[in-house]
Amino acid sequence: MPETLDDLLGRMRQIEKEINAALQRKEFEYEFEIRKREVHFSKGATARHKPLSKLLSSFLLDSPFLTLLTAPIIWSCLLPILFMDIVSSIYQAICFPLYGIPKVRRTDYIALDRHRLAYLNAIEKLNCDYCGYSNGVLAYSSEIAARTEQYWCPIKHALRIKTTHSRYKNFFDYGDAEGYRARIEEVRRSFKDLESEPT
């Protein structure tokens, strides 16, 4: 019997869990632990990392000219990303309680931890946290949009899309008019799977 889209999405989620478990095993290998969402390296690991940090002068001299030239363009994206962060947070704070949609926890998506790596210099740490923040905000906003889409228009697309978001598995098949009309209220409030998420 061929697998349904729901089966495939379920398998994908299981593989994501296995990947996360493998990443957690790296904590032991690289001598760090996470306590209260903060990374703590062993003294031995920190002592080995510090000599590997590149001096700022060497880092800048070794950087390709085009990299230095385009850095202001990369950093100019910070303003719209900050704006998206603020607007997404305000939007869900006001609208989600009215619709009965569970709020998205920002801390589940935005991780600023790379500045704790002693082998990075100050510029690398700043750049890494910028990337972590930017991608975190995009993922956080995407989850807010996914939950909104489940409430307002939970219909799968007929056209192929590269990736699907976390709520897509709950959507109606494209063209399922009877199912949509019969169960729209049930599906738009179907967030029970989020209750099992760790807090």
pLDDT in tens, 21-80: 887 787 777 888 788 888 888 888 888 888 889 998 888 888 899 999 999 999 999 999
- Dist. CA 127–CA 70, nearest whole Å: 13
Do the domain assignments include residue 103? yes
Q: Is 64 exposed, middle or buried (0-12, 13-18, 19+ CB in 10 A)?
A: exposed
Do the domain assignments include residue 131? yes
Do the domain assignments include residue 75? yes
- Dist. CA 43–CA 162, nearest whole Å: 43
Residues in the chain, overall count: 199
- 16-20, 30-34, 168-172: lowest mean pLDDT where? 30-34
Q: Is 155 helix (H, G, I), strand (E, B) or coil?
A: strand
Single-letter code of the amino acid located at 26: K
Single-letter code of the amino acid located at 138: L
* pLDDT at residue number 102: 96
Top-confidence range, 10-19, 113-122, 190-199 = 113-122
- Both tokens of 87, joined, read 């607007």
pLDDT tens digit string along 121-149? 999 999 999 999 999 999 999 999 999 99
Do the domain assignments include residue 7? no
Phi, psi of 50 (to 5 degrees): -55, -45
More confident residue, 84 or 196: 84
* Residue 118: domain span: 54-196
Do the domain assignments include residue 112? yes
Do the domain assignments include residue 37? no
Asked if pLDDT for residue 181 goes beyond 90, the answer is yes
Q: Is 37 exposed, middle or buried (0-12, 13-18, 19+ CB in 10 A)?
A: exposed
How many domains does the chain contain in total? 1
The model's pTM: 0.81
Pick from 110, 125, 112, 133: which is nearest to 49 by CA? 125
Do the domain assignments include residue 47? no
Burial 123-145 (b: 16+ CB within 10 A, else e): ebbebbbbebbbebbbbbbbbbb
Question: What do you get for the CA distance between the two ends of the chain, in Å?
Answer: 37
